[in-house]
Amino acid sequence: MKKNINVALIGYKFMGKAHSHAYRDVSLFFDTEITPVMKVICGRHDIPLSIAQEKFGWQERTTDWKKIVKRDDIDLVDITTPPDEHKNIAIESAKTGKFVFCEKPLSKTLKEAYEMLEAVEKYNVKHAICFNYRKLPAVGLAKKLIEEGKIGKIYHVRAVYLQDWILDPEFPLVWRLQKKIAGSGAHGDLNAHLIDMTRYLVGEFSEVIGLSETFIKERPKLIEKDDLNTGLVVTEKSEEKGKVDVDDATIFLARFANGAIGSFEATRFAPGRKNGQRWEINGSKGSIVFNLERLNELEYYSVDDPACVQGFRTIIATDGSHPYAANWWPAGHIIGYGDSFVNMVADILQAIAQNKMPTPNFVDGVKCQEVLQAVEDSIKQKKWVKVKSRV
Ligand SMILES: NC(=O)c1ccc[n+]([C@@H]2O[C@H](COP(=O)([O-])OP(=O)(O)OC[C@H]3O[C@@H](n4cnc5c(N)ncnc54)[C@H](O)[C@@H]3O)[C@@H](O)[C@H]2O)c1
Protein backbone atom coordinates (compact mmCIF):
# COMPACT_ATOMS: atom_id res chain seq x y z
CA MET A 1 0.00 0.00 0.00
CA LYS A 2 1.21 3.52 -0.79
CA LYS A 3 2.37 5.63 2.13
CA ASN A 4 2.75 9.39 2.30
CA ILE A 5 5.59 11.35 3.89
CA ASN A 6 5.22 15.02 4.71
CA VAL A 7 8.09 17.17 3.44
CA ALA A 8 9.25 20.60 4.62
CA LEU A 9 11.55 22.55 2.33
CA ILE A 10 13.77 25.34 3.66
CA GLY A 11 14.77 27.78 0.91
CA TYR A 12 12.82 28.67 -2.20
CA LYS A 13 15.29 30.03 -4.72
CA PHE A 14 17.62 28.06 -7.04
CA MET A 15 17.79 24.76 -5.18
CA GLY A 16 14.36 25.33 -3.62
CA LYS A 17 12.94 25.28 -7.14
CA ALA A 18 15.04 22.27 -8.23
CA HIS A 19 13.93 20.24 -5.19
CA SER A 20 10.28 21.31 -5.59
CA HIS A 21 10.43 20.07 -9.18
CA ALA A 22 11.71 16.74 -7.84
CA TYR A 23 8.89 16.28 -5.28
CA ARG A 24 6.26 17.30 -7.84
CA ASP A 25 7.46 15.02 -10.61
CA VAL A 26 8.92 11.98 -8.89
CA SER A 27 5.61 10.06 -8.80
CA LEU A 28 5.05 10.81 -12.49
CA PHE A 29 8.19 8.89 -13.45
CA PHE A 30 8.87 6.45 -10.59
CA ASP A 31 6.51 3.91 -9.02
CA THR A 32 7.66 4.70 -5.49
CA GLU A 33 5.98 3.04 -2.52
CA ILE A 34 6.19 6.37 -0.71
CA THR A 35 4.63 9.56 -2.01
CA PRO A 36 6.05 12.93 -0.92
CA VAL A 37 3.47 15.43 0.26
CA MET A 38 4.66 19.01 -0.29
CA LYS A 39 3.53 20.20 3.12
CA VAL A 40 5.39 23.39 3.98
CA ILE A 41 7.96 25.70 2.40
CA CYS A 42 10.12 28.13 4.39
CA GLY A 43 12.02 31.31 3.48
CA ARG A 44 12.92 34.55 5.20
CA HIS A 45 10.60 36.96 3.38
CA ASP A 46 6.87 36.29 3.32
CA ILE A 47 5.78 37.94 0.06
CA PRO A 48 8.31 36.30 -2.29
CA LEU A 49 7.83 33.11 -0.28
CA SER A 50 4.07 33.24 -0.90
CA ILE A 51 4.73 33.54 -4.65
CA ALA A 52 7.05 30.51 -4.52
CA GLN A 53 4.55 28.57 -2.40
CA GLU A 54 1.85 29.01 -5.00
CA LYS A 55 4.06 28.51 -8.03
CA PHE A 56 5.84 25.40 -6.74
CA GLY A 57 2.71 23.89 -5.15
CA TRP A 58 3.38 23.76 -1.37
CA GLN A 59 0.39 23.51 0.98
CA GLU A 60 1.67 25.92 3.63
CA ARG A 61 4.48 28.41 4.24
CA THR A 62 6.40 29.84 7.18
CA THR A 63 9.26 32.30 7.64
CA ASP A 64 10.62 30.46 10.69
CA TRP A 65 12.30 27.07 10.21
CA LYS A 66 12.25 26.49 13.99
CA LYS A 67 8.46 26.13 13.79
CA ILE A 68 8.90 23.39 11.21
CA VAL A 69 11.29 21.22 13.15
CA LYS A 70 8.94 21.24 16.15
CA ARG A 71 5.99 19.94 14.12
CA ASP A 72 4.98 16.29 14.65
CA ASP A 73 3.45 16.00 11.19
CA ILE A 74 6.73 16.68 9.30
CA ASP A 75 8.72 13.56 8.33
CA LEU A 76 11.49 14.98 6.14
CA VAL A 77 13.30 18.33 6.33
CA ASP A 78 15.03 19.38 3.13
CA ILE A 79 17.69 22.11 3.57
CA THR A 80 18.42 24.31 0.53
CA THR A 81 19.70 27.38 2.35
CA PRO A 82 23.26 28.69 1.98
CA PRO A 83 25.79 26.61 4.00
CA ASP A 84 25.81 28.85 7.11
CA GLU A 85 22.33 27.61 8.07
CA HIS A 86 22.84 23.90 7.31
CA LYS A 87 24.23 22.88 10.70
CA ASN A 88 21.57 24.39 12.95
CA ILE A 89 18.63 23.25 10.84
CA ALA A 90 20.05 19.74 10.41
CA ILE A 91 20.81 19.23 14.10
CA GLU A 92 17.45 20.59 15.30
CA SER A 93 15.64 18.43 12.72
CA ALA A 94 17.55 15.34 13.81
CA LYS A 95 16.66 16.03 17.46
CA THR A 96 12.98 15.78 16.61
CA GLY A 97 13.43 12.59 14.61
CA LYS A 98 13.13 13.94 11.08
CA PHE A 99 14.83 12.54 8.00
CA VAL A 100 17.39 15.22 7.02
CA PHE A 101 18.17 15.92 3.38
CA CYS A 102 20.81 18.63 2.96
CA GLU A 103 22.32 20.47 0.04
CA LYS A 104 26.08 20.37 -0.54
CA PRO A 105 28.58 21.26 0.80
CA LEU A 106 27.41 19.64 4.05
CA SER A 107 28.42 22.76 5.92
CA LYS A 108 30.74 25.73 5.78
CA THR A 109 33.45 24.06 7.89
CA LEU A 110 34.66 20.54 8.56
CA LYS A 111 34.02 21.01 12.30
CA GLU A 112 30.35 21.77 11.62
CA ALA A 113 30.09 18.84 9.22
CA TYR A 114 31.34 16.49 11.98
CA GLU A 115 28.74 17.94 14.39
CA MET A 116 26.00 17.31 11.84
CA LEU A 117 27.04 13.70 11.32
CA GLU A 118 27.29 13.16 15.09
CA ALA A 119 23.74 14.51 15.53
CA VAL A 120 22.08 12.33 12.88
CA GLU A 121 23.88 9.30 14.33
CA LYS A 122 23.04 10.22 17.93
CA TYR A 123 19.34 10.73 17.20
CA ASN A 124 19.32 7.75 14.85
CA VAL A 125 17.69 9.48 11.89
CA LYS A 126 18.28 8.81 8.21
CA HIS A 127 20.07 11.41 6.12
CA ALA A 128 21.08 12.30 2.58
CA ILE A 129 23.21 14.94 0.85
CA CYS A 130 22.38 16.36 -2.55
CA PHE A 131 25.30 15.31 -4.72
CA ASN A 132 22.76 15.04 -7.51
CA TYR A 133 25.23 14.48 -10.36
CA ARG A 134 25.74 10.91 -9.13
CA LYS A 135 22.16 10.33 -10.21
CA LEU A 136 22.59 11.02 -13.92
CA PRO A 137 22.24 7.98 -16.20
CA ALA A 138 25.59 8.72 -17.94
CA VAL A 139 27.33 8.86 -14.55
CA GLY A 140 25.60 5.64 -13.47
CA LEU A 141 26.90 4.05 -16.67
CA ALA A 142 30.44 5.27 -15.88
CA LYS A 143 30.14 3.63 -12.45
CA LYS A 144 28.92 0.37 -14.03
CA LEU A 145 31.77 0.28 -16.57
CA ILE A 146 34.33 0.85 -13.79
CA GLU A 147 32.78 -1.82 -11.54
CA GLU A 148 32.70 -4.32 -14.41
CA GLY A 149 36.44 -3.77 -14.93
CA LYS A 150 35.97 -2.23 -18.38
CA ILE A 151 38.38 0.60 -17.56
CA GLY A 152 40.80 -1.74 -15.77
CA LYS A 153 43.17 -0.40 -13.15
CA ILE A 154 42.59 3.34 -12.83
CA TYR A 155 45.67 5.52 -13.38
CA HIS A 156 44.30 9.03 -13.86
CA VAL A 157 41.38 11.31 -13.09
CA ARG A 158 41.38 14.76 -14.64
CA ALA A 159 38.47 16.92 -13.51
CA VAL A 160 37.50 20.55 -14.02
CA TYR A 161 34.47 22.61 -13.01
CA LEU A 162 34.49 25.90 -14.90
CA GLN A 163 32.09 28.84 -14.62
CA ASP A 164 32.28 32.54 -15.52
CA TRP A 165 29.47 34.32 -13.62
CA ILE A 166 31.68 36.65 -11.51
CA LEU A 167 34.08 37.71 -14.26
CA ASP A 168 32.79 41.31 -14.10
CA PRO A 169 34.68 43.07 -11.23
CA GLU A 170 31.48 45.06 -10.54
CA PHE A 171 29.49 41.88 -9.87
CA PRO A 172 28.35 42.34 -6.26
CA LEU A 173 29.39 40.64 -3.06
CA VAL A 174 26.69 37.94 -2.98
CA TRP A 175 26.66 35.26 -0.24
CA ARG A 176 28.72 32.87 -2.37
CA LEU A 177 31.65 35.35 -2.06
CA GLN A 178 31.50 35.60 1.74
CA LYS A 179 33.38 33.10 3.90
CA LYS A 180 31.08 33.48 6.93
CA ILE A 181 28.13 32.26 4.84
CA ALA A 182 29.61 30.03 2.15
CA GLY A 183 32.73 28.68 3.91
CA SER A 184 34.76 28.95 0.73
CA GLY A 185 34.30 30.04 -2.89
CA ALA A 186 34.74 27.96 -6.03
CA HIS A 187 36.39 25.31 -3.85
CA GLY A 188 33.44 24.35 -1.60
CA ASP A 189 30.92 25.09 -4.31
CA LEU A 190 32.45 23.35 -7.35
CA ASN A 191 35.37 21.20 -6.18
CA ALA A 192 32.89 19.64 -3.71
CA HIS A 193 31.04 18.13 -6.69
CA LEU A 194 34.30 16.94 -8.31
CA ILE A 195 35.52 15.40 -5.06
CA ASP A 196 32.25 13.55 -4.49
CA MET A 197 32.16 12.31 -8.08
CA THR A 198 35.76 11.10 -7.82
CA ARG A 199 35.17 9.34 -4.48
CA TYR A 200 32.14 7.65 -6.09
CA LEU A 201 33.93 6.53 -9.26
CA VAL A 202 37.63 6.24 -8.42
CA GLY A 203 37.97 5.84 -4.63
CA GLU A 204 39.28 7.58 -1.53
CA PHE A 205 41.77 10.44 -1.63
CA SER A 206 44.99 9.89 0.30
CA GLU A 207 46.92 13.17 -0.10
CA VAL A 208 46.51 16.54 -1.80
CA ILE A 209 48.35 19.75 -2.64
CA GLY A 210 46.52 22.88 -3.76
CA LEU A 211 46.74 26.41 -5.01
CA SER A 212 44.06 29.08 -4.92
CA GLU A 213 43.56 32.69 -5.96
CA THR A 214 41.11 35.52 -5.42
CA PHE A 215 41.48 37.64 -8.56
CA ILE A 216 39.05 40.40 -7.58
CA LYS A 217 39.72 41.33 -3.96
CA GLU A 218 36.84 43.79 -3.41
CA ARG A 219 33.34 44.05 -4.82
CA PRO A 220 30.31 46.32 -4.35
CA LYS A 221 28.31 45.39 -1.26
CA LEU A 222 24.67 44.41 -1.72
CA ILE A 223 21.79 46.11 0.06
CA GLU A 224 18.49 44.28 0.58
CA LYS A 225 15.43 46.55 0.47
CA ASP A 226 11.68 46.08 0.69
CA ASP A 227 10.01 47.35 -2.47
CA LEU A 228 6.96 49.17 -1.05
CA ASN A 229 4.99 48.84 -4.29
CA THR A 230 5.34 45.10 -4.74
CA GLY A 231 6.23 43.98 -1.21
CA LEU A 232 9.12 42.03 -2.75
CA VAL A 233 12.64 42.08 -1.34
CA VAL A 234 14.96 43.64 -3.91
CA THR A 235 18.72 43.90 -3.84
CA GLU A 236 20.83 46.74 -5.16
CA LYS A 237 24.54 47.45 -5.38
CA SER A 238 26.00 49.84 -2.83
CA GLU A 239 28.70 52.46 -3.55
CA GLU A 240 30.65 50.86 -0.73
CA LYS A 241 32.97 47.93 -1.45
CA GLY A 242 33.52 44.86 0.70
CA LYS A 243 36.35 42.34 0.85
CA VAL A 244 36.04 39.06 -1.05
CA ASP A 245 37.39 36.54 1.47
CA VAL A 246 36.89 33.33 -0.52
CA ASP A 247 38.74 31.81 -3.47
CA ASP A 248 37.77 32.65 -7.05
CA ALA A 249 39.67 29.58 -8.26
CA THR A 250 41.23 26.54 -6.57
CA ILE A 251 43.38 23.93 -8.29
CA PHE A 252 44.77 20.81 -6.65
CA LEU A 253 46.60 17.57 -7.29
CA ALA A 254 45.76 14.33 -5.52
CA ARG A 255 46.93 10.80 -4.87
CA PHE A 256 44.40 8.05 -4.21
CA ALA A 257 44.52 5.03 -1.91
CA ASN A 258 44.37 2.73 -4.97
CA GLY A 259 47.48 4.27 -6.56
CA ALA A 260 45.73 6.55 -9.05
CA ILE A 261 46.68 10.23 -9.37
CA GLY A 262 44.43 13.17 -10.23
CA SER A 263 44.20 16.86 -11.06
CA PHE A 264 41.26 19.12 -10.17
CA GLU A 265 40.37 22.69 -11.07
CA ALA A 266 37.42 24.84 -9.99
CA THR A 267 37.05 28.41 -11.18
CA ARG A 268 34.45 31.12 -11.67
CA PHE A 269 36.78 32.94 -14.10
CA ALA A 270 36.62 30.87 -17.30
CA PRO A 271 34.85 33.04 -19.91
CA GLY A 272 32.35 31.07 -21.93
CA ARG A 273 32.17 28.18 -19.48
CA LYS A 274 28.75 28.40 -17.84
CA ASN A 275 28.53 25.15 -15.90
CA GLY A 276 31.45 23.27 -17.41
CA GLN A 277 31.91 20.20 -15.27
CA ARG A 278 34.11 17.81 -17.23
CA TRP A 279 36.13 14.82 -16.20
CA GLU A 280 38.13 12.03 -17.77
CA ILE A 281 39.20 8.78 -16.16
CA ASN A 282 41.95 6.67 -17.72
CA GLY A 283 42.68 3.06 -16.82
CA SER A 284 44.64 0.10 -18.10
CA LYS A 285 41.76 -1.06 -20.32
CA GLY A 286 40.11 2.15 -21.42
CA SER A 287 38.94 5.68 -20.73
CA ILE A 288 35.66 7.44 -19.96
CA VAL A 289 34.86 11.11 -20.46
CA PHE A 290 31.91 13.16 -19.14
CA ASN A 291 30.83 16.74 -19.85
CA LEU A 292 27.89 18.09 -17.83
CA GLU A 293 26.87 20.43 -20.64
CA ARG A 294 26.15 17.24 -22.65
CA LEU A 295 24.86 15.33 -19.67
CA ASN A 296 23.16 12.47 -21.48
CA GLU A 297 26.42 11.39 -23.10
CA LEU A 298 29.35 9.29 -21.94
CA GLU A 299 32.43 8.87 -24.09
CA TYR A 300 34.09 5.47 -23.83
CA TYR A 301 37.29 4.09 -25.32
CA SER A 302 38.20 0.44 -24.98
CA VAL A 303 41.63 -1.04 -25.69
CA ASP A 304 39.79 -4.33 -26.38
CA ASP A 305 38.12 -3.03 -29.55
CA PRO A 306 39.68 -4.31 -32.79
CA ALA A 307 42.45 -1.90 -33.88
CA CYS A 308 40.65 -0.96 -37.12
CA VAL A 309 37.63 0.48 -35.24
CA GLN A 310 39.39 1.79 -32.15
CA GLY A 311 38.35 5.25 -31.04
CA PHE A 312 36.11 7.03 -28.56
CA ARG A 313 32.43 6.16 -28.93
CA THR A 314 29.71 8.47 -27.64
CA ILE A 315 27.02 6.57 -25.76
CA ILE A 316 23.67 8.36 -25.36
CA ALA A 317 22.71 7.03 -21.91
CA THR A 318 18.96 7.00 -22.47
CA ASP A 319 18.40 3.33 -23.21
CA GLY A 320 16.25 1.40 -20.73
CA SER A 321 19.37 -0.50 -19.65
CA HIS A 322 21.07 2.66 -18.40
CA PRO A 323 20.57 3.62 -14.73
CA TYR A 324 17.28 5.53 -14.16
CA ALA A 325 16.60 5.75 -17.93
CA ALA A 326 13.80 3.16 -17.95
CA ASN A 327 11.78 5.51 -15.72
CA TRP A 328 12.00 8.36 -18.22
CA TRP A 329 11.31 8.54 -21.94
CA PRO A 330 11.86 6.18 -24.87
CA ALA A 331 15.52 5.74 -25.92
CA GLY A 332 17.10 8.89 -27.33
CA HIS A 333 14.62 11.22 -25.61
CA ILE A 334 17.08 12.98 -23.40
CA ILE A 335 16.68 14.22 -19.83
CA GLY A 336 17.91 17.51 -18.31
CA TYR A 337 19.72 19.05 -15.34
CA GLY A 338 16.61 19.27 -13.16
CA ASP A 339 15.88 15.59 -13.65
CA SER A 340 18.96 14.58 -11.65
CA PHE A 341 17.07 15.90 -8.59
CA VAL A 342 14.04 13.75 -9.46
CA ASN A 343 16.31 10.67 -9.56
CA MET A 344 17.87 11.75 -6.27
CA VAL A 345 14.49 12.07 -4.53
CA ALA A 346 13.33 8.76 -6.03
CA ASP A 347 16.33 7.05 -4.41
CA ILE A 348 15.57 8.71 -1.07
CA LEU A 349 11.94 7.55 -1.18
CA GLN A 350 13.04 4.04 -2.10
CA ALA A 351 15.49 3.99 0.83
CA ILE A 352 12.76 5.15 3.22
CA ALA A 353 10.40 2.45 1.92
CA GLN A 354 13.08 -0.21 2.46
CA ASN A 355 14.21 1.25 5.80
CA LYS A 356 17.74 1.70 4.42
CA MET A 357 20.21 4.57 4.55
CA PRO A 358 20.25 6.38 1.20
CA THR A 359 23.47 7.31 -0.60
CA PRO A 360 25.10 9.73 -0.80
CA ASN A 361 24.54 10.69 2.83
CA PHE A 362 26.20 12.73 5.60
CA VAL A 363 29.16 10.32 5.72
CA ASP A 364 29.85 11.23 2.08
CA GLY A 365 29.31 14.89 2.98
CA VAL A 366 31.92 14.65 5.76
CA LYS A 367 34.40 12.71 3.62
CA CYS A 368 34.07 15.35 0.89
CA GLN A 369 34.60 18.10 3.45
CA GLU A 370 37.72 16.31 4.79
CA VAL A 371 39.24 16.51 1.31
CA LEU A 372 38.17 20.18 0.92
CA GLN A 373 39.83 20.95 4.27
CA ALA A 374 43.02 19.04 3.44
CA VAL A 375 43.35 21.09 0.23
CA GLU A 376 42.89 24.33 2.21
CA ASP A 377 45.50 23.17 4.74
CA SER A 378 47.94 22.31 1.95
CA ILE A 379 47.49 25.78 0.44
CA LYS A 380 48.28 27.42 3.79
CA GLN A 381 51.22 25.11 4.51
CA LYS A 382 52.46 25.10 0.88
CA LYS A 383 53.01 21.33 0.98
CA TRP A 384 51.31 17.96 0.46
CA VAL A 385 48.76 17.13 3.18
CA LYS A 386 47.42 13.66 4.01
CA VAL A 387 43.63 13.33 3.95
CA LYS A 388 42.81 12.02 7.41
CA SER A 389 39.34 10.59 7.84
CA ARG A 390 37.48 10.30 11.13
CA VAL A 391 34.61 8.37 9.54
N1 LIG B 1 23.35 20.34 -5.92
C2 LIG B 1 23.60 21.34 -6.76
O3 LIG B 1 23.85 21.14 -7.93
C4 LIG B 1 23.57 22.75 -6.23
C5 LIG B 1 23.43 23.84 -7.10
C6 LIG B 1 23.35 25.13 -6.55
C7 LIG B 1 23.42 25.32 -5.18
N8 LIG B 1 23.59 24.24 -4.36
C9 LIG B 1 23.67 24.40 -2.90
O10 LIG B 1 22.36 24.70 -2.42
C11 LIG B 1 22.43 25.61 -1.32
C12 LIG B 1 21.61 26.85 -1.65
O13 LIG B 1 22.05 27.41 -2.87
P14 LIG B 1 21.06 28.23 -3.83
O15 LIG B 1 21.78 28.43 -5.09
O16 LIG B 1 19.74 27.57 -3.85
O17 LIG B 1 20.96 29.59 -3.01
P18 LIG B 1 19.88 30.76 -3.23
O19 LIG B 1 20.53 31.99 -2.74
O20 LIG B 1 19.34 30.71 -4.62
O21 LIG B 1 18.69 30.33 -2.24
C22 LIG B 1 18.90 30.28 -0.84
C23 LIG B 1 17.54 30.19 -0.18
O24 LIG B 1 17.76 30.02 1.23
C25 LIG B 1 16.85 30.87 1.93
N26 LIG B 1 17.35 31.13 3.26
C27 LIG B 1 18.54 31.66 3.63
N28 LIG B 1 18.63 31.75 4.97
C29 LIG B 1 17.47 31.25 5.46
C30 LIG B 1 16.92 31.09 6.76
N31 LIG B 1 17.60 31.46 7.85
N32 LIG B 1 15.68 30.55 6.88
C33 LIG B 1 14.98 30.18 5.80
N34 LIG B 1 15.44 30.31 4.54
C35 LIG B 1 16.66 30.86 4.37
C36 LIG B 1 16.75 32.09 1.05
O37 LIG B 1 15.57 32.82 1.38
C38 LIG B 1 16.68 31.45 -0.33
O39 LIG B 1 15.37 31.07 -0.63
C40 LIG B 1 23.91 25.88 -1.09
O41 LIG B 1 24.40 25.02 -0.10
C42 LIG B 1 24.54 25.55 -2.44
O43 LIG B 1 25.90 25.15 -2.36
C44 LIG B 1 23.65 22.97 -4.86
CB atoms within 10 A of CB 168: 10
The answer to whether residue 62 is domain-embedded is: yes
Residue 231 has pLDDT above 80, yes or no: no
The domain tally of the chain equals: 2
The answer to whether residue 143 is domain-embedded is: yes
Q: Which of 132, 165, 185 is the last residue of a domain?
A: 132
Closest C-alpha to 166, from 106, 242, 249:
249
Q: Give yes or no: residues 284 and 141 share one domain.
A: yes
Q: Give yes or no: residues 34 and 72 share one domain.
A: yes
Residue 2 has pLDDT above 80, yes or no: no
SS3 content of the chain, % helix, strand, coil (to 5): 35, 30, 35
Q: What is the CATH number of the domain that holds 196?
A: 3.30.360.10
Average of pLDDT values for 90-97? 98
The answer to whether residue 306 is domain-embedded is: yes
Q: Give yes or no: residues 213 and 273 share one domain.
A: yes
Average of pLDDT values for 121-136? 98
Q: Give yes or no: residues 128 and 253 share one domain.
A: no
The answer to whether residue 340 is domain-embedded is: no
Residue type, 115: E
CB atoms within 10 A of CB 309: 7
Q: Counting Cβ atoms within 10 Å, is residue 245 exposed (0-12), middle (13-18) or buried (19+)?
A: middle
**Residues 327-362: tens digit of each pLDDT:** 999 999 999 999 999 999 999 999 999 999 999 999
Q: Which of 113, 132, 151 is the last residue of a domain?
A: 132
Range of the domain at 225: 137-294+296-335+367-381
Q: Give yes or no: residues 217 and 83 share one domain.
A: no
Q: Give yes or no: residues 149 and 188 share one domain.
A: yes
Give the pLDDT score at 337: 98
Residue 74 has pLDDT above 90, yes or no: yes
Confidence class for position 1, pLDDT limits 50, 70, 90: low
Confidence class for position 376, pLDDT limits 50, 70, 90: very high
Give kind and range of the element (H or E) at residue 50. Answer: helix 46-56
Residue 89 has pLDDT above 90, yes or no: yes
Residue 228 has pLDDT above 80, yes or no: no
The answer to whether residue 356 is domain-embedded is: no
Average of pLDDT values for 356-378? 98
Give the pLDDT score at 128: 99
Evaluate: CB of 49 within 6 angstroms of ligand 1: no
Q: Give yes or no: residues 67 and 121 share one domain.
A: yes
Q: Give yes or no: residues 100 and 64 share one domain.
A: yes
Q: Give yes or no: residues 153 and 104 share one domain.
A: no
The answer to whether residue 346 is domain-embedded is: no
Q: Give yes or no: residues 153 and 273 share one domain.
A: yes
Evaluate: CB of 14 within 6 angstroms of ligand 1: yes
Q: Which of 107, 132, 157 is the last residue of a domain?
A: 132
Instruction: List residues bridging with 41 in a β-sheet.
Output: 9, 61
Is-cis flag, bond preceding 271, omega within 30? no
Please report how the helices 110-122 and 362-381 are oriented relative to each other, as an axis angle in degrees rounded to 10. Answer: 160
The answer to whether residue 163 is domain-embedded is: yes
The protein residue with its alpha carbon nearest to ligand 1, atom 28, reads: 81
Q: Give yes or no: residues 127 and 171 share one domain.
A: no
Q: Give yes or no: residues 377 and 254 share one domain.
A: yes
The protein residue with its alpha carbon nearest to ligand 1, atom 19, reads: 13
Mean per-residue pLDDT over the chain, rounded: 97
Q: What is the CATH number of the domain that holds 125?
A: 3.40.50.720
The protein residue with its alpha carbon nearest to ligand 1, atom 3, reads: 132
Give the pLDDT score at 259: 98
Evaluate: CB of 83 within 6 angstroms of ligand 1: yes
The answer to whether residue 230 is domain-embedded is: yes
Integer CA distances (angstroms), 276 to 43, 118, 268, 272, 358, in order: 30, 34, 10, 9, 28
Atom number of ligand 1 nearest to Cα 79: 11
